[in-house]
Amino acid sequence: MRNLFSFFGRLPGIASFLLALPAGAFAQSSTIVGSFGTAGAGNGQFNGPTGVAFSPAQNCVYVVENFGRRLQRFSTNGIYQSQTGSSGAGSGQFFGPFGVGTGNGMVYVADSGNNRIQQFMDTTAIAFQSAWGGVAASSAAGFFASPEGVAANATSGQIYVADANNSRIQRFSSTGAFLSTWGTAGIGPAEFGKPSGVAVDAATGQVYVADSIQHRIKRFDASGNFLSQWGGEGAATGQFQNPAGLAIGPEGIVVVADTGNHRIQIFNRDGVFLIALGTVGPGPEQYNTPTGVSVTPAGLAYVADSGNHRISTFQYTNAAPTVAIKDAPRGPVDKARLSLKGSATDDGTVVRVEVKVGKGAFQTAVGRNAWRFVAKLKKGRNPIEIRSIDLGGKVSAVRRLSVIRS
Ligand SMILES: [Ca+2]
């Protein structure tokens, strides 16, 4: 049994796997820190791990094996804790399970080959609780045809299922009662080829779906109204080859298992490309058919590296935002109100720009990436401070100027 922390001392240079960062991309870093598991059927070994889910409630990680047909539980540093499941169609048994999610004190498994969702207690015993759907594939409401992804909204407790072969998303209550469905087979914005992965942004309630055969990511509101999409088939940054799982990380970053390109891609919540990690292979900074991904609030990502029969981890770092002032006065001014303006950037989202004049408190400027503020000046010297804040609460370096009112 290999301990993940034994890898923490070996931090490779990040330049070797920051692929094709386009000009103008914001500086940020993601470092692959290790992996756990080897091929096999023993405790802590894997046979085609396709799904991984961090549990905030239990501070542990669940892994589901598509070929191994079981659910294993690990500490966050990769120490084996327990397992459940075997091959079959009985309660708590699996047939080609693909995705896993946590929430409501439960662990949800997309038991794909049995066309159902199974839920287990999110405790060390991983006790079977219930299942819904049916062993036979069906397109009726509340039933499934090869469901591949499952995710819970951490606030509402509602559960979203990527019902892959029915080309739709289904939404359930926290107890598994059918609520609604959206999508149908097609290539339109709100239609699906094969929705494989689903993730919920806890901050906004928005639902992200990886459509594996249309090679793109789609974003919906919590009720399933289409908002946006990005991607397309290919190997360039921002393109995909059969993306499967995805997860939402700190600041709403969208982490996508770009399965057929054997890499991970990270976007901001609006789909702007940020970073790509990995090449194909068995090495420490490589992947072989990565399918599932889960990210802790602190940005530690777990990747179900299915072809390498392991879970790989990397740390995503939220970079601080920047702020700049445009056309600041170069000499004394003779007015009581001074208009200031400038810009702010971040690797994720700038939530506000703040300005402090003299001994006053920081006040919120109008606008964010382009901001403006009217400062009230006293006679004499007016020290002014300006800063920006990102969605993760990181604060920029403070810009200072001193304005003399004559
Ligand atoms: Ca940031």
CA distances from 229 to 162, 210, 234 (A): 16, 10, 16
The strand pair at 286-287 and 279-280 is best described as: parallel
Distance 392 CA to ligand 1 centre (A): 6
Distance 389 CA to ligand 1 centre (A): 8
Cβ–Cβ contacts within 10 Å for residue 104, how many?
Answer: 20
HEC string for 65-96: ECCCCCEEEEECCCCEEEEECCECCCCCCECC
Distance 387 CA to ligand 1 centre (A): 13
Distance 99 CA to ligand 1 centre (A): 29
pLDDT at 250: 86
Alpha helices (runs of H) in 5-156, residue ranges in sequence order: none
Looking at this protein, which amino acid is placed at residue 195? P
For ligand 1, an ion, list residues with CB under 5 A. Answer: 318-319, 346-348, 390
pLDDT at 324: 97
Cβ atoms of residues 97 and 72 within 8 Å: no
Distance 345 CA to ligand 1 centre (A): 9
Q: Give the predicted TM-score (pTM) of the model.
A: 0.82
Tell me the C-alpha distance between 346 and 371, whole Å. Answer: 14
Distance 28 CA to ligand 1 centre (A): 8
Distance 309 CA to ligand 1 centre (A): 33
Residue 109 phi, psi dihedral angles, 5° rounding: -115, 125
Looking at this protein, which amino acid is placed at residue 263? R
pLDDT at 348: 77
- pLDDT tens over the chain, length 406 residues: 333 322 222 223 322 333 333 333 344 567 777 999 999 999 999 999 999 999 999 999 999 999 999 999 999 999 999 999 999 999 999 999 999 999 999 999 999 999 999 999 999 999 999 999 988 999 999 999 999 999 999 999 999 999 999 999 999 999 899 999 999 999 999 999 999 999 999 889 999 999 999 999 999 999 999 999 999 999 999 999 999 999 999 888 999 999 999 999 999 888 988 889 999 999 988 999 999 999 999 899 999 999 999 999 999 987 899 999 999 998 899 999 999 999 999 877 898 999 999 999 999 999 999 999 999 999 999 999 999 998 777 899 999 999 999 9
Which one-letter DSSP state was computed for residue 321? P
Nearest to 98 by CA among 165, 193, 183: 165
What sign results for the dihedral spanned by CA atoms 41, 46, 51, 56? positive
* Secondary structure of residue 338 in the 3-state scheme: strand
Distance 317 CA to ligand 1 centre (A): 8
Distance 12 CA to ligand 1 centre (A): 23
pLDDT at 167: 98
Tell me the C-alpha distance between 172 and 201, whole Å. Answer: 17
Distance 396 CA to ligand 1 centre (A): 9
Distance 167 CA to ligand 1 centre (A): 35
Distance 386 CA to ligand 1 centre (A): 17
Cβ atoms of residues 247 and 295 within 8 Å: yes
